[in-house]
Amino acid sequence: MFTIRAVYNDTAEIKTNIEAARQFFSDIRNFIELMPGIESIHTDLKGVTHWKIYAEVPLIGTFSEKFAVELLENSEDRIEWSPIAGETRNFLRYSADFMEKGVNSTMVNFSQIVEMRRKSARELHLLAGVAGETMISNEMSRRIGEMIKTFVQKAKNKLEK
């Protein structure tokens, strides 16, 4: 099995109240608008949300993948998206945890895990076997980190105005 896995965790302080932060990060339109690498996000009639994400990986080039997820939690202090039941190839887990630090200050902990499983490297990309799981996983982790950091900075700019 050829498996690519990328992980990102970080915490950011945002100068806004917890409710405004939670509302902002629960609105998928903000991801589409502000996060680089997101081609599209839509929810079908069954309630499954489809994220289409592209990435550029050295030796491979640009490719995009679709991730079918469901909203598992949308509470006052946590938002969590996870792969739909029965998914076997593309796994996306995203969560944001909110902690009120003060009247107009919220700590937001972001966590994202992306995993792609294929029987062979060629199913992912013709050159994936040349690059290897480790190199692609490391590059994907770096790219996801850049995507989320850019998203959080743009979110802070909007929320802190």
- What pLDDT does 58 receive? 67
- What pLDDT does 8 receive? 92
pLDDT tens digit sequence for 13-72? 999 999 999 999 999 999 999 999 999 999 999 999 999 998 777 667 777 899 999 999
Burial status of residue 57 (CB atoms within 10 A of its CB: 0-12, 13-18, 19 or more): buried
Distance (Å, whole) CA 137 – CA 143: 10
Domain locations in the chain as residue ranges: 2-159
Give the range with max mean pLDDT: 77-81, 124-128, 141-145. 77-81
Distance (Å, whole) CA 69 – CA 76: 20
pLDDT tens digit sequence for 95-129? 999 999 988 999 999 999 999 999 988 887 777 77
CATH of 2-159, one of 3.30.360.10, 3.40.50.720, 3.50.50.60, 3.30.530.20: 3.30.530.20
Phi, psi for 76 (deg, rounded to 5)? -60, -30
